[in-house]
Structure formats: structure tokens, C-alpha cells
Amino acid sequence: MTELLSVENMVVGFEGASRPTIGGISFTLRAGQRLGLIGESGSGKSVTALALMGLLPDTAHLSGSVRLAGRELVGLGDAKMARIRGREMSMVFQEPMTALDPTMRVGRQVAEVVRLHCARTGSGHTRERVCRMLEEVGLPDAERIADSYPFQLSGGQRQRVMVAMALINRPELIICDEPTTALDVTVQARVLDVLDRGLREVGAACLFISHDLAVVSQICDDVIVMYRGQIVEAGPVAVLLDHARHPYTRGLVATARLDEVAPGARLRVIEDFWDASQERR
């Protein structure tokens, strides 16, 4: 498969901070590949996603190289990045209630993605396309959903709307930032199934950010592990989760395997495997 996304020595710093939040990371993503990005809260996962999408605040400074299909994104102005977002790359955010405009009907919000990036089409055709996409992400009563406001939908329904917005223009890359964290386990499984089918249908690559190793192993082919803004380990999901080399990765895996802890025994923590004070890499 051809290389779709290339990140080389990407550094993200913020005004007033004593050290960069992202300290020179490099990785690649092939067309159609699904790459997981895991680590504790504060490890830099979401900042990485925002940097790739060109959504960092004005207080941030980005350097290094980010190339999408050979095109350098670092240094592009807001107008040029806006034309890329939603068409060539899109993002599913963690909390759809804040990502969706509460004052705008759902169908209109999905339609805006189409109108901004596609050739001029009639409102009737756009409406039909939106409803078809809503049905494809598991919302069968698409007409009612399209006419609803976000607060009238459940958390699972809102997240499927976000998936529909990300998929509707068939982008080459979709970034998912903890897309199921706010959902209960049953709804989470359904949303992941929708996302899995949608990625296959449009042929998009995916950078899937999560702290849930079970979810990553379900959706991703490969995984990279972040600790304090650095990549400490990378490899195929099955190999890395079962045969992790880095102590921090072994700690992450062990803390997720609660079934291996004897009843009444102390739960394992990352520090059992990884002494952060020594900054071993």
C-alpha cells in the first residue's frame, strides 16, 4: 500500500510551557491502514490529532513535517487547511454534544460538510445524500434524525451522526479521537461496528486514538504507544499487546487485563512495570 500520511520530527509546544507537549515524533500511515495511538491521559494523543488537522490554538507552535498524500501541511494557512478538512481528511471527536452545534438541526450540519467541499448540488439531492448516509451509519429513521436537534438524540445516535459527517465525502484519512469513551459498552460496540463498516466501504485510512486497548485491538492493524509526548514503541497490534518490549507498554497492557488479577488482590498499576522517574525509553 502507498504511504498516505508521513509525520517526521513533529514538535508541538505551547507558550509558557517549560517543555514541548509533543517532542519530535515520527510515524507513517499507509492508504487503508488502521493505526492505533494509545497512552495515558496527558501523553499527547489528542494534541497530535489536533496538530494533524490544523486545529491547534494560536498559543501553540508546530514544527517538523506532516505530509498528506505528498502535500506538506505544516505552514498552510487556515483557508487552505479548511479546504482539506472534511474532504481529504476528517475527524470524529470524543464528545459529540460539544462537537455538534446544539442550535442547528442534525441534517443541516451533515449537509454543510457536503456543500463546503463538493460541487454545487440542489438541496433535494443533498438531503437525499445526507439521509442515505445516516442510514448507512445505523440510523434507520433518517428523516426524523435529520430534522432533530442534537439534544433530542441519544449519545450513541449523536456519535453516529459524527461518523456520518466524517465519512460522507469519502476522505482518504479519518482521525478518531476517543470516539466511544463517552458511551456505555453496548452502544460502544455498535458504534465501532458502524465505524468499521464505514471505513471499509470508503476505503479510508484511520488513526484511532484511545486508551482502551480492547477497542484498539478490535479496530486497528498496528499501534503506536505514546508517553509524555514521545513514541516509545510501535508494531502490529497482536505482537505488541502480547509481546511488548517497553516496560511502559507492558504496564498499559497489564492494567487493562483485569481478568488476570486474583479476587481480592491489588490491581496492577503502570508504575509496577515502569519507573517514570528514570525516564527510560
Q: Print pLDDT tens along the chain (281 aa).
A: 689 999 999 999 999 989 999 999 999 999 999 999 999 888 999 999 999 999 999 999 999 999 999 999 999 989 999 889 988 999 998 877 788 999 999 999 999 988 887 655 556 688 999 999 999 898 989 999 999 999 999 988 998 999 999 999 999 999 999 888 777 878 888 888 888 988 998 889 999 999 888 889 889 999 999 999 999 999 999 888 888 888 888 888 877 665 565 676 665 666 666 665 455 44
User: For the whole model, what pTM was predicted?
Assistant: 0.89
> Closest by alpha carbon to 100, among 155, 55, 62, 137?
155
End-to-end CA distance of the chain: 30
- Crossing angle of helices 185-202 and 155-167, rounded to 10°: 10
> Closest by alpha carbon to 90, among 219, 190, 206?
206
Q: From residue 226, how far is each of 3, 21, 223, 233, 280 by CA, in Å? A: 22, 11, 10, 8, 13
Q: Which pLDDT does position 281 carry in this prediction?
A: 43
Asked if the 1-88+175-236 domain carries CATH number 3.30.1520.10, the reply is no
Under 8 Å between Cβ of 166 and 126: no
User: How do the domains of the chain map onto residue ranges?
Assistant: 1-88+175-236, 101-170
Residue 168 sits at φ, ψ, to 5 deg, of -60, -30
Rg (CA), the chain: 19
